[in-house]
Structure 1
Amino acid sequence: MAKSGARPVVTLRSTAGTGATYVTRKNRKNDPDRLVLRKFDAVAGAHVLFREVR
């Protein structure tokens, strides 16, 4: 069995305030801070920043 401690599942929430979310995994060693990705928000109809929520 693989350990899941190094690559936890994180939720990314849109900064546009639409409530859109993505679920992904991140490498805790390479990205110890909160993850920020530019993804497509289907509700807003544009690419916006998605930030990790805890």
Structure 2
Amino acid sequence: MARSTARPVVRLRSTAGTGVTYVTRKNRLNDPDRLVLRKYDPVAGEHVAFREER
């Protein structure tokens, strides 16, 4: 089964500078810009913004 190019796997890196990452998929048609999600950073101990890295 081929992977769709419309939903690539992206890595989200914490903006708190702790080096924590999450891996997710995004719909490139709905979100053409870099994805920013607010998720929990266990090193910082709080919810922070995670930005898509390329």
Into which bin does the TM-score normalised by the smaller protein fall? over 0.9
Whether 2:15 is the aligned partner of 1:15: answer yes
Whichever residue aligns with residue 26 of structure 1, its letter is K
Q: Distance in 2 between matches of 1:3 and 1:45?
A: 35
Whichever residue aligns with residue 16 of structure 2, its letter is A
Structure 1 runs of 4+ aligned residues shifted over 6 Å read: none
TM-score, reference length from structure 2: 0.95
Q: Which residue of 1 aligns with 2:24?
A: 24
TM-score, reference length from structure 1: 0.95
Q: Among the aligned pairs, what percent are the same residue?
A: 81
3-state secondary structure, aligned to 2:18: coil
RMSD after superposition: 0.8
Structure 2 spans left out of the alignment, 5+ residues: none
3-state secondary structure, aligned to 1:17: coil
Whether 2:38 is the aligned partner of 1:38: answer yes
- Offset, 1:2: 4.1
